């Protein structure tokens, strides 16, 4: 009797346990089926490549899971940006076709070493403040007439007179990068990080707006993005006035035309690149009269270059900027003529003007929303974004560096990915924090933000999303070219070319 009873109890317990485990598995599979990329079916070759990639990913995660202090990605980006480049997984991601970059800002895209090299150009003058905390530049055949905190010197003379060119250049380079040894002590909050961030653009303004430099910088930007396996770019620019050595000043329309000409030249030089489009994105901390002038310029450029200018945005530190609702009337009037790609919700606050910019971006019919970091707090708006297919331009590394999130594992993107939101991955201003054009953002997203279960399907879908939500007129051509590159990428993984 007793053996039978024990058997029956064991059987019931086992069956109950199996039922629980089966239900657990069912729930897990249902949740994974909601994730970005879940609809993609991998080929046999992709499955082999996926196994290799997931083994590498799991090794990195497991090491950090057991000993969190060794999980690099929970630290500040400046502490691990170079270290991760040595990993096989990063090198694979670096070679991965990444589709398009849809959120990137004009002069924040190349490294401080590149910017430093520009200071070796002829006819460059420099002006340091007495304490060397700030610096100004100007290209001119003679001493610049522009005011200066101390006095203008030819850069080559200042460099040679320094007595130590290596130290001079190292000190100068600090003005071109946010990267420092003790970021958590210096960049204590979002305002501190943004102050240094904005100082970069103030400092380099006249350096970049010298027309020959502007043209070369943009050409080399396209070169770097292509090298990082990007095939198409939509660049946001404030369209600054440019100048030359003859005293000519070129307005915003001519600056836009400069972008167009350089893009066309680059495409002739590199026919495998699918080009670039322009989003006019001036500063948002302005009055309505200035906004109307921005809109007039945008409509003029669109009339002159209808296939090149694709839309309009307003940029700047969102918490300190003018709320979109203040410009709602003006933007609503123009939205039928000019597509809007609006920054909104780049904030940690909830219920503030910067947070509620998300409402305005949606009702104004934005084609994409830049950052949308705060969207996670608005379940209704998340539904609207999904229903209206408004792509979210997420910039993980930027959000970390600019103090919105300390640990990328806590980034709202994790939630967006889990619910198959219309996400595109971008990089914002990678040069200023010494990241690669897109590889760091893909790596951090894949290893730290996404589920441990997220695999090759996620990365492929993110790359495809950047093509689907672009303004490129013949998306089928982009997708076809991407698929060819993707197949070669998969073949290289399977053949273990790393």
346-372: per-residue pLDDT in tens? 999 999 999 999 999 999 999 999 999
Nearest alpha carbon to residue 460 among 52, 46, 87, 88: 46
The CB density around residue 397, as the number of other CB atoms within 10 Å, is: 24
Q: Residue range 188-205: average pLDDT?
A: 95
218 to 212, 223, 328, 442: CA distances (angstroms):
10, 9, 32, 23
First and final C-alpha spacing in the chain: 65
Tell me: pLDDT of 5 over 80.
Answer: no
Nearest alpha carbon to residue 357 among 395, 405, 387, 316: 316
Give the Cα separation of 216 and 315 in Å (integer). 24
Indicate the Cα dihedral angle 27, 32, 33, 35, nearest 10°.
Answer: 140
Determine contact, residues 357/326, Cβ cutoff 8 Å: no
Give the Cα separation of 26 and 115 in Å (integer). 53
Beta bridge partners of 344: 371
68: pLDDT confidence band, cut at 50, 70 and 90? confident
Tell me: pLDDT of 72 over 90.
Answer: no
C-alpha angle 349/351/356, rounded to 5°?
95
- pLDDT tens for 309-329 read 999 999 999 999 999 999 999
Give the Cα separation of 124 and 135 in Å (integer). 13
Give the Cα separation of 324 and 195 in Å (integer). 22
The pLDDT value given to residue 64: 87
Beta bridge partners of 309: 278
C-alpha angle 429/430/436, rounded to 5°?
155
Tell me: pLDDT of 201 over 90.
Answer: yes
Tokens of 42: 């991998």
Spatial neighbors of 65 by CB under 8 A, at least 6 apart, are 71
Give the Cα separation of 240 and 148 in Å (integer). 20
- pLDDT tens for 131-161 read 878 899 999 999 998 888 789 999 999 999 9
Q: Beta strands of 117-190 (E only): which ranges?
A: 124-128, 135-139, 153-154
Average pLDDT, the chain: 95
Rg (CA), the chain: 25
Nearest alpha carbon to residue 71 among 57, 91, 54: 57
The percent of residues in the chain predicted with pLDDT above 90, rounded, is 90
Q: Which residues are catalytic?
A: 346, 371
376: pLDDT confidence band, cut at 50, 70 and 90? very high
Tell me: pLDDT of 246 over 60.
Answer: yes
Q: Hunting for tokens 């080399």 — which residue is that?
A: 220
The pLDDT value given to residue 131: 80
- Computed from CA positions of residues 167, 213, 244, 429, in that sequence, does the dihedral angle turn out positive or negative? negative
Give the Cα separation of 497 and 483 in Å (integer). 20
Spatial neighbors of 453 by CB under 8 A, at least 6 apart, are 32, 35
Tell me: pLDDT of 493 over 70.
Answer: yes
* Side-chain half-sphere CA neighbours of 487 within 13 A: 7
Give the Cα separation of 421 and 461 in Å (integer). 11
Spatial neighbors of 428 by CB under 8 A, at least 6 apart, are 103, 104, 105, 108, 395, 397, 398
The pLDDT value given to residue 496: 82
1: pLDDT confidence band, cut at 50, 70 and 90? low
Tell me: pLDDT of 20 over 90.
Answer: no
Structural domain boundaries in the chain? 79-110+215-491, 114-176
* Side-chain half-sphere CA neighbours of 8 within 13 A: 5
The CB density around residue 319, as the number of other CB atoms within 10 Å, is: 16
Q: Residue range 78-103: average pLDDT?
A: 97
b (16+ CB within 10 A) / e for 435-472:
bbbbbbbbbbbbbbbbeeebbbbbbbbbbbbbbbbbbb
Tell me: pLDDT of 229 over 70.
Answer: yes
Give the Cα separation of 231 and 448 in Å (integer). 25
Tell me: pLDDT of 12 over 60.
Answer: no
Tokens of 243: 């100048």
Determine contact, residues 344/372, Cβ cutoff 8 Å: yes
Query: Reduced to 3 states, what is the DSSP secondary structure of residue 424?
Result: strand
Burial of 85 (0-12, 13-18, 19+ CB in 10 A): middle
Task: Report DSSP state, residue 373.
Answer: G
The CATH class, in words, for 79-110+215-491 is alpha beta
Tokens of 224: 């770097």
């Amino acid at each position: 009797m007793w053996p039978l009873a024990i058997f029956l109890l064991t059987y019931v317990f086992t069956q109950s346990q199996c039922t629980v485990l089966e239900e657990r598995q069912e729930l897990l599979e249902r949740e994974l089926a909601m994730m970005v990329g879940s609809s993609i079916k991998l080929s046999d070759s992709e499955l082999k490549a996926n196994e290799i990639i997931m083994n590498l990913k799991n090794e990195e995660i497991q090491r950090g899971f057991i000993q969190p202090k060794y999980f690099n990605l929970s630290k500040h980006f400046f502490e691990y940006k170079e270290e991760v480049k040595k990993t096989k997984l990063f090198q694979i991601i670096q070679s991965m076709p990444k589709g398009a970059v849809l959120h990137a800002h004009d002069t924040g895209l190349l490294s401080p070493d590149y910017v430093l090299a520009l200071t070796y150009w002829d006819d460059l003058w420099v002006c340091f403040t007495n304490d060397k905390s700030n610096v100004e530049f100007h290209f001119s055949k003679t001493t610049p007439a522009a005011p200066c905190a101390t006095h203008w010197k030819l850069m080559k003379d200042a460099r040679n007179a320094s007595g130590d060119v290596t130290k001079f250049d190292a000190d100068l380079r600090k003005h071109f990068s946010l990267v420092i040894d003790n970021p958590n002590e210096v960049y204590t909050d979002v305002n501190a990080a943004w102050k240094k961030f904005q100082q970069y653009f103030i400092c380099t303004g006249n350096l970049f707006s010298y027309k020959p430099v502007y043209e070369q910088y943009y050409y080399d930007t396209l070169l770097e993005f292509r090298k990082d396996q990007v095939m198409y770019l939509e660049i946001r620019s404030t369209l600054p006035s440019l100048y030359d050595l003859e005293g000519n000043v070129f307005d915003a329309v001519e600056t836009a035309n400069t972008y167009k000409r350089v893009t066309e030249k680059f495409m002739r030089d590199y026919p495998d690149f699918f080009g670039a489009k322009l989003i006019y994105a001036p500063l948002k901390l302005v009055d309505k009269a200035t906004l109307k002038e921005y809109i007039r310029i945008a409509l003029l450029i669109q009339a002159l270059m209808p296939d090149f200018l694709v839309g309009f945005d307003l940029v700047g530190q969102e918490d300190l900027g003018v709320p979109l609702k203040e410009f709602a009337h003006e933007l609503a009037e123009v939205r039928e003529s000019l597509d809007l790609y609006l920054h909104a919700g780049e904030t940690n606050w909830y219920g503030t003007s910067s947070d509620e910019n998300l409402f305005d971006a949606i009702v104004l019919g934005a084609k994409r929303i830049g950052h949308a970091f705060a969207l996670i707090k608005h379940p209704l708006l998340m539904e609207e974004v999904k229903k209206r297919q408004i792509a979210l331009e997420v910039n993980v590394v930027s959000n970390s560096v600019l103090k919105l999130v300390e640990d990328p594992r806590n980034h709202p993107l994790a939630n967006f990915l889990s619910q198959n939101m219309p996400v595109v991955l971008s990089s914002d201003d990678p040069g200023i924090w010494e990241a690669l054009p897109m590889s760091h953002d893909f790596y951090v997203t894949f290893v730290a933000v996404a589920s441990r279960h997220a695999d090759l399907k996620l990365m492929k879908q993110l790359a495809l999303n950047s093509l689907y939500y672009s303004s490129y007129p013949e998306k089928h051509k982009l997708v076809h070219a991407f698929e060819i590159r993707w197949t070669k990428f998969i073949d290289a993984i399977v053949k273990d070319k790393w």
